[in-house]
Structure 1
């Protein structure tokens, strides 16, 4: 008699497992990406970075759950060039935005276009600053005009103004080029708009860029609530601020920090939304800035310069799903063109050949795989606040986790050991005892320039190549400029 027997569900599962016929594991959803970009927020102006004056509790909390880049470098520390490199993953001399208020080409392959091609909703809120003006027009003529649909570089959700630093009565244009006014302090209303986008988009992967205007000057325009938090007399100034300017520096810092704390409140509200909506684990959150601010170090304001107050920015990346919830400190540098490929790497999206930067995502949990030892810094054309007559000079350089090295057209210019000299007050360039160090850094810089086909020409060469005109009197040079070149 033939025996028959039944295989129960339990035994069928066991039988299948023996022969590796296991059910496929559900695929992890694509991560959302939220990129939060402040304007002119220098690296040391956060609590997590060791600044005991500024109040940034929400950002400090975020840092405790994020990759913390201690040497995040603005490759070209000024607005338009940074944003061009962020969107394309390219160096300024390749995408062409090495001067403010010039237009990014429609032929550029951008962040939003890449993510959109991979099934993402895309949105941009706040300051844009890559639409530019045409030759012959007033250099700031595009700042108050809408950015038409064909110039949005792949972003669909759109609440944007090209540029404004009036944070309390600013306007923006929507997807249909209709003009609206942000209510109150614009960073707060912009954050509310970002929260609305997140809530509507949470069921499908999205890329959102939230681009705040502060703490960029004017410094004294933060809400009164935050200004009252800071007494200038109690604030510390960096030792590289000239003695005669320290009172002015304290007053400036009080207003600057007020903006930082206001933005920190906005950050807290946004991060709470991710928790409330249940999407925090699978959302990549980036917080950074386009460049720093000298804030009267060396007696000057603003950016473009090669010193740390100008080139170093805060940078955090939180992605609990893959990077965990504990702080990971990265001392090695990351430059602006490296941000986009790193986001693509974390999102498991193929990196296009057009991108110059390096994907550091594999090196975040495995330091031996971190691919960058030195980040390039550059200023092909000095302009506006640091034009030639204000002392601006063309330069190329590198920032490692320890050293800064830069040269001008006529040769080596700066060498700092940032470990022993954190305020960069002792220039070691051309000193005999540091000859070997300088030669090694020069080799590294030369290699970086060769990789990017950068032959380090005078500013006029690049302006002519891209058919750009100088704004106002930016082309003028003092006699000292020509005297330097003869040395």
Structure 2
């Protein structure tokens, strides 16, 4: 079999619950839903750093943000960074990038700051140089190119043209939309004409936004309109691959950089480790992923590059600490992590840990010059089984102290593994009344069982082995 083509269809700031397979009843994403069901749906998929630049650096390198050095916006990805584009280049692939980059420092992005991608039609900050109906990107020589149509369609059309002209050689193409990110100069979500009104007539509001609202009362319908057009564009791309007889030999991954909490968790849209900001929609289809079903392992942006490289039959570089999900797709019993680590280093300095049931987070005073802190304080604990939208904070309640202590140790293990042995102090939250909230003994026993199996901590299997 010839080498499979690889396409990443990448959106910006898209909540997981915009999709039907995650419970949205509005019918915004029929293409995503259909392909997720027929391919592989990574049900528990997360941004390990919910901010544009850091998330993108993590996705390109398979490293956490403190490892790439891109721990906040405004930091460029090192020219020497090992990226998935460079891996595919070395293995006979043509590589192309279309759309928003946000890792190059300036527009137009210099060739040496493009992460190794050979073909280029992109911009560092699309949100600042273009608009919904004024799509502008820069070509390989740095010349501005105005693309016709609504921006989602313009970028997708360019991707289809790339596929059409690369039918005879294996390629890896990264298609990076701005939508459904807000348009910065108006701080709003400009949907295609008529889409905002159509969505407003049938609007569903997630429970966290129903409770805290933020900016969602006047922005959610436009945001949904953008998501609907994205899904239509995704369908057109898949139709183009079908018409070019390329579906059977093309792996397509749909994902995003982070979600959107509509200024409910802080004074902007992401930069928080709550589910609304970190949980994202992700599917993979094509060779090795068709009929993969719903995979419930905890998958992060750090795993994207290793997964795609592995799926192409190539060797994953040792520098990539993320893991290929392909073994789990093949066999649901394959070993996989039981918790996932999050970092945030802009607007606040924070760390968080998520198991299948619990979310535990700590924060420190924000220092833009440092990625981490020496002292953190407990900020939140959520039971995601009963409170999936994180509306009831259990931190500081006496019945959950032992649980929080165990999660603290697991979080510290991640920090030590990812952040060069760092061992910060995490101060306990002040005690607050527990009311009727209690923890069953069996709940704590389940968490302890993960520890005994060596499944609870760390990026690699080596961590558990060193502790045995």
3-state secondary structure, aligned to 2:22? coil
Q: CA deviation at 1:337?
A: 1.2
Q: Which residue of the partner structure matches residue 304 of structure 1?
A: 271
Task: Tell me the distance in 2 between the aligned counterparts of 1:169 and 1:256.
Answer: 18
Q: Is the deviation greater in 399-408 or in 190-199?
A: 399-408
Q: CA deviation at 1:156?
A: 1.3
Please state if 1:151 is matched with 2:119.
no
Task: Tell me the distance in 2 between the aligned counterparts of 1:164 and 1:315.
Answer: 23
Q: Residue 90 of structure 2: which of 100, 117, 120 is its match?
A: 117
| Consecutive aligned runs of 4 or more in structure 1 exceeding 6 Å deviation | none
Please state if 1:195 is matched with 2:160.
yes
**1:332–1:400 contact (8 Å) kept in structure 2:** no
Q: Residue 193 of structure 2: which of 209, 224, 229 is its match?
A: 224
- Residue deviations 1:316-356, cap 9 Å, x none? 1112x3233x3511222111111111111111111111111
Task: Tell me the distance in 2 between the aligned counterparts of 1:340 and 1:400.
Answer: 22
**1:110–1:154 contact (8 Å) kept in structure 2:** yes
Please state if 1:76 is matched with 2:44.
no
**2:266–2:272 contact (8 Å) kept in structure 1:** no
Q: CA deviation at 1:243?
A: 5.7
Q: Which residue of the partner structure matches residue 361 of structure 1?
A: 326
**1:88–1:109 contact (8 Å) kept in structure 2:** yes
Q: Any residues of structure 2 matched to 1:202-221 within 5 Å, and which?
A: 202-218=167-183, 219-221=188-190
Q: CA deviation at 1:296?
A: 4.7
- Residue deviations 1:416-458, cap 9 Å, x none? 1111111211212232322332232222212211211352779
Q: CA deviation at 1:188?
A: 0.6
Task: Tell me the distance in 2 between the aligned counterparts of 1:72 and 1:416.
Answer: 18
Q: Which residue of the partner structure matches residue 354 of structure 2?
A: 399
Q: Which residue of the partner structure matches residue 31 of structure 1?
A: 4
- Residue deviations 1:33-85, cap 9 Å, x none? 00011000011111221101251111112112221122211111000000111
Q: Note closer, same or farther for the CA distance 1:162–1:244 as it changes in structure 2 (3 Å cut).
A: closer
Task: Tell me the distance in 2 between the aligned counterparts of 1:330 and 1:441.
Answer: 24
Q: Note closer, same or farther for the CA distance 1:244–1:412 as it changes in structure 2 (3 Å cut).
A: closer
Q: Any residues of structure 2 matched to 1:339-358 within 5 Å, and which?
A: 339-358=304-323
Task: Tell me the distance in 2 between the aligned counterparts of 1:410 and 1:161.
Answer: 36
Please state if 1:293 is matched with 2:260.
yes
Task: Tell me the distance in 2 between the aligned counterparts of 1:453 and 1:295.
Answer: 30
**1:240–1:298 contact (8 Å) kept in structure 2:** no
**1:242–1:299 contact (8 Å) kept in structure 2:** no
Q: Is the deviation greater in 84-93 or in 435-444?
A: 435-444
- Residue deviations 1:385-409, cap 9 Å, x none? xx3xxxxx31111122221111223
3-state secondary structure, aligned to 1:369? coil
Q: Residue 426 of structure 1: which of 371, 384, 392 is its match?
A: 392
Please state if 1:280 is matched with 2:235.
no
Q: Residue 315 of structure 1: which of 278, 282, 297 is its match?
A: 282
Q: Note closer, same or farther for the CA distance 1:241–1:149 as it changes in structure 2 (3 Å cut).
A: closer
3-state secondary structure, aligned to 1:313? coil
Q: Is the deviation greater in 448-457 or in 180-189?
A: 448-457
- Residue deviations 1:173-200, cap 9 Å, x none? 1112121112121221111111111111
**2:18–2:28 contact (8 Å) kept in structure 1:** no
Q: Residue 151 of structure 2: which of 160, 164, 186 is its match?
A: 186
Unpaired runs of 5+ residues, structure 1, are: 1-27, 133-141, 388-392, 459-483
**2:338–2:355 contact (8 Å) kept in structure 1:** yes
Q: Note closer, same or farther for the CA distance 1:223–1:306 as it changes in structure 2 (3 Å cut).
A: same
- Residue deviations 1:132-159, cap 9 Å, x none? 2xxxxxxxxx2xx211222222111111
Task: Tell me the distance in 1 between the aligned counterparts of 2:3 and 2:121.
Answer: 25
Q: Note closer, same or farther for the CA distance 1:428–1:225 as it changes in structure 2 (3 Å cut).
A: same
**2:52–2:73 contact (8 Å) kept in structure 1:** yes
Please state if 1:240 is matched with 2:208.
yes
Q: How high is the TM-score relative to the length of structure 1?
A: 0.80
Q: Which residue of the partner structure matches residue 449 of structure 2?
A: none
Q: Any residues of structure 2 matched to 1:157-176 within 5 Å, and which?
A: 157-165=119-127, 166-176=131-141
Q: CA deviation at 1:411?
A: 2.7
**2:328–2:336 contact (8 Å) kept in structure 1:** yes
RMSD (Å), alpha carbons: 2.1
Task: Tell me the distance in 2 between the aligned counterparts of 1:362 and 1:129.
Answer: 31
Task: Tell me the distance in 1 between the aligned counterparts of 2:198 and 2:406.
Answer: 47
**1:53–1:236 contact (8 Å) kept in structure 2:** yes
